[in-house]
Amino acid sequence: MLAEVVRDEVEENLLIHAGRLPFLDADQLIEDYWELIKLTNPELIPYPGRELVRSSRHLIRHEADVPVLLSAVASKPDWVLTHNTKHFTKAVAQRSSLRIATPAEFFRALATRFGEED
């Protein structure tokens, strides 16, 4: 699953970083991103409605992250992985009933779980 809001945010950030690359490399970066999306063919989670975003503002401190959080809630994931621990805090996880972790925390949890099965 891929939230449209996350897909667009990733593309926006790639475009910002691509501006520092030679033109052909920048073009290839964006092309490769869209090829990844095409190959993985994720189920897209649409942007949440404006009224839902407004009424859910209390869930997370950073206003721009409300649509991201709502998209995660809508997709009912096992995990939400982010490096943005400044905004996606333990309190946000508790309020949204999501399991939020950094990629490193996620892989440590997997390693622990698979280590217990031996």
**pLDDT tens track for 84-117:** 999 999 999 999 999 999 999 999 999 998 886 5
Rounded distance, CA 117 to CA 74, Å?
Answer: 32
DSSP string, 5-49: HHHHHHHHHHHHHHTTS-HHHHHHHHHHHHHHHHHH-PPEEPPPP
Whole-number pLDDT of residue 118: 53
Whole-number pLDDT of residue 42: 95
Whole-number pLDDT of residue 27: 87
For 9-19, what is each residue's pLDDT tens digit? 999 999 888 88
pTM: 0.81
Whole-number pLDDT of residue 24: 82
Angle at 78 between CA 83 and CA 56, to 5 degrees: 70
User: What Å distances lie between residue 16 and 1, 21, 42, 61, CA to CA?
Assistant: 24, 10, 24, 25
Whole-number pLDDT of residue 21: 82
Whole-number pLDDT of residue 48: 96
For 34-87, what is each residue's pLDDT tens digit? 999 999 999 999 999 999 999 999 999 999 999 999 999 999 999 999 999 999
